């Protein structure tokens, strides 16, 4: 049974647009690159041809991945209720550290430029999900217990 991906409407729309682009313009561009490389001659020693074929394989893999996510996704509303949930940006401080770090809590497909992600399925993510600002949670990592204070939660 396929894994259900919990993603925001924003991520769903972005992934849908990427899939449409790759399945249309992307495939046409790669086909053009392959055809141009074929015209250069001997395919066994044609670096342009092999590079284009490799790119075609990567794109096909990404198309399959996006299709799987979009076919098996649950669109979630990012809550504004002060509880850590997928789609929230959380500010946390590790016990014994003065530095407050910001993370996006959710799927890798929710990524935003310049922001690291905490997956809800990770040990840290499991400890954080459902917690509130001001609360301290603990989790096990590499045989150690780590504690985190949730400083703030943003939608």
pLDDT per position in the chain (155 positions), as tens?
677 888 888 889 999 999 999 999 999 999 999 898 888 877 777 888 889 999 999 999 999 999 999 999 988 887 677 889 888 899 999 999 999 999 999 888 888 888 899 998 899 999 999 999 999 999 998 899 999 999 999 87
The residue segments making up the domain with residue 10 are 5-76
- Tracing tokens 């499991």 back to the chain, one arrives at 126
Residue 137 lies in a domain: yes
Residue 82 lies in a domain: no
Q: Report d(CA 122, CA 37) in Å as an integer.
A: 44
Same domain, 67 and 111: no
Task: Say if strands 89-94 and 144-154 run parallel, antiparallel, or are unpaired.
Answer: antiparallel
Question: The CATH number of the domain where 38 resides is what?
Answer: 1.10.287.180
Question: The CATH number of the domain where 149 resides is what?
Answer: 3.10.50.30
Task: Say if strands 5-8 and 89-94 run parallel, antiparallel, or are unpaired.
Answer: unpaired
Same domain, 96 and 150: yes
Structural domain total, the chain = 2
Do 54 and 30 touch, CB atoms closer than 8 A?
no
The residue among 76, 101, 133 that closes a domain is: 76
Same domain, 17 and 72: yes
- Give pTM, 2 decimals: 0.74
Q: Report d(CA 153, CA 130) in Å as an integer.
A: 11
């Amino acid at each position: 049974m396929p894994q259900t991906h919990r993603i925001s409407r924003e991520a769903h729309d972005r992934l849908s647009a990427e899939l449409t682009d790759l399945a249309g313009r992307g495939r046409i561009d790669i086909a053009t690159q392959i055809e141009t490389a074929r015209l250069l001659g001997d395919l066994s020693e044609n670096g342009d041809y092999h590079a284009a074929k490799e790119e075609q394989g990567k794109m096909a893999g990404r198309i399959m991945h996006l299709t799987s996510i979009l076919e098996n996704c649950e669109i979630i509303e990012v809550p504004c209720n002060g509880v850590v949930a997928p789609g929230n940006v959380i500010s946390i401080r590790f016990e014994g550290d003065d530095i407050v770090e910001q993370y996006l809590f959710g799927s890798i497909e929710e990524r935003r430029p310049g922001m690291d992600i905490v997956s809800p399925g990770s040990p840290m993510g499991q400890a954080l999900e459902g917690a509130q600002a001001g609360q301290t949670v603990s989790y096990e990592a590499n045989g150690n217990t780590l504690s985190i204070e949730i400083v703030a939660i943003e939608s």
